[in-house]
Homo-oligomer: A and B are copies of this chain.
Amino acid sequence: MTAAKLDRVFHERGRLAICSTLIARSEGLSFTRLQEACDLTDGNLNRHLYALSEEGIVKMERRTGNGRPQTILRITDAGRRRFLAYIDALEEIVRDVHRSAKRTESPVRAVPARTVSQ
């Protein structure tokens, strides 16, 4: 079954949002900006980032410059490859479902029954 190939670590809406956002920003993103982009609560974002960094998918960097210190989040090279493999598995499912749906769609059903019987 194709769904079994889906890497569990990414198959959660919040984590998908986080990784999709980070893969678009190789320069990294602050916690606040990432939170805005993903529309997650502090607690949820922290929880997911913890899990993703435990897996070596995301890394955090404390940046101090002018102004307040910031936490910058980045997707790692290994995380990027692993996320893209997950995306490939999703694509395979999308393709399979489209193929099945096309094969089983009933054109008669789209026409109201009354029109057919008149």
Contact = CB atoms under 8 A, between A and B. Distances in A.
Main SS at interface, chain A: helix
A87 B98 contact: yes
A26 B38 CA distance: 37
A45 interface: no
What is the oligomeric copy number? 2
A111 interface: no
A118 interface: no
Nearest to A94: B91
Contacts of A72: none
A58 B103 CA distance: 19
Contacts of A101: 23, 80, 84
B11 A11 contact: yes
